[in-house]
Amino acid sequence: MKPQFLIGAASSGSGKTTFTMGLLRALAHRGMKVQPYKCGPDYIDTQFHSLASGNVSVNLDTWLASERHVRSLYHSYGKDADVCVVEGVMGLYDGYSGMKGSSAAMAALLDIPVILLVNARSTAYSVAPLISGFARFSPDVRIAGVVFNQVSSTSHYEYLKEACRDIGMECLGYIPYTKALKVPSRHLGLAWGAQKRMDAQMNQAAELMEKHVDIDRLLEVCSTAWTARVEKTECQGNMTVAVAKDAAFNFMYRENMAQLNRLGKVIFFSPLKGDALPEADLVYLPGGYPELFAHRLQKQERLMNELKEYAERGGRVLAECGGMIYLSRSLTNRQGDKTYRMSGVLPLDCTMQNARLHLGYRKMDMAGEEWRGHEFHYSDMVCPDACPSVAVLQNAKGMEVKTPIYRYKNVIAGYTHWYWGEKNIMDLWN
């Protein structure tokens, strides 16, 4: 038996991330080994999870990967943990197509119970039909208990507990309205740039959990039989992979990195520090926030020249979003008054000016097979006709999108963060 559960909510904005961070930190303070997971493709919440728990969080996404792979990931990373905690995405039943890809579908796939977080601001007994509907909507989803957020007073909480009693739902506690308890903006790198502030908020949230949430009872009602379904994977090659990793480049799926390790040896380097480019068979430039550090990046001329020389020699490079921006000729800020020099590997110029959010699942056919990923960015590329996209990308519903994928010699770059947890990324160059 092991406590394992998914934290879901009635809607986005209910406080899932704050609650998850506080609970992860509270469990860690108790000396428990916690394995966090994120339902969906988000690579920012996983950084919050890792900071709160002390363990690297894992993405679970049935659109990016097969159900078999997702189940294997869950059991592989959770087998030695004392408790497994999955943070859901959006509302409990919100998926990319109906319920498909939703948090509820994930809980059913993994056969784990759900803790439903309900934003109780400006409501009281009316939560009864809301909770009852969520609990009865799908026979495959078991809601083990409810926690309320944004509770204004103890008398307010009494109304909420009464609602739970009347529908036979276990009430596990609440989070009082606390103005200071707010997750920093998910954009502009605050996942890295405000770690001290985040750490203090996690401790504050953990204190609230211990005081107002019955954590012992939560763990009890969510303890279910652990059935290991672990697929053995071993190192398959002797390649060397160089991976950019620092405050400017840090959007990485954990299982992607595991796959790179299976290719051979992974060496990390920091473009911000101007590290020399390691000798490698593949260079991986992941996404991140190069726009926040453009003034520092443009000073690292040696590394930019080494990247350009490596690419000209036919070296293999995979660059995603922020990594692609670093390979462009220049980056213009949001105000449009400053332009920073980038490495110039690709004949592209990037601008943040008048940019809007581009978001969603993406897929493409390349090298004879389908690749899937996720797009999340605010910048745009000024692309000359000399650098057309080499593949057509589609969204989750199969509709064509304008997101490009570029190739120059053996450099493959684009805005999409690809998931290759059950694929060989080297197949892209076949």
**Which residues belong to the active site?**
321
Listing DSSP states for 9-77 in one string gives ESSTTSSHHHHHHHHHHHHHHTT--EEEEEESS-SSHHHHHHHHHSS--EEE-TTTS-HHHHHHHHHHH
Q: For 91, list phi and psi in degrees, rounded to 5.
A: -75, 160
Cα–Cα distances (Å) from 284 to 245, 366, 426, in that order, read 9, 18, 12
DSSP SS3 for 297:
helix
Query: CA nearest 93: which of 130, 46, 52, 145?
Result: 130
Q: How far apart are CA 307 and CA 81, in angstroms?
A: 40
- For residue 119, give the H/E element and its range: strand 114-119
DSSP SS3 for 216:
helix
Q: String of b and e for 194-206 (b: at least 16 CB within 10 Å)?
A: beeebeebbbbbb
Tokens 């805005």, residue located: 415
* Strand partners of residue 9: 117
How many Cα neighbours within 13 Å face the side chain of 267? 15
Q: Are strands 400-401 and 316-320 parallel, antiparallel or unpaired?
A: unpaired
Phi-psi region of 90 (alpha: psi -120 to 50; beta: other; left: phi over 0): left
Phi-psi region of 291 (alpha: psi -120 to 50; beta: other; left: phi over 0): alpha
Query: CA nearest 10: which of 177, 149, 134?
Result: 134
The answer to whether 361 and 396 are in contact (CB under 8 A) is yes
Q: How far apart are CA 15 and CA 111, in angstroms?
A: 24
Q: For 222, list phi and psi in degrees, rounded to 5.
A: -105, 10
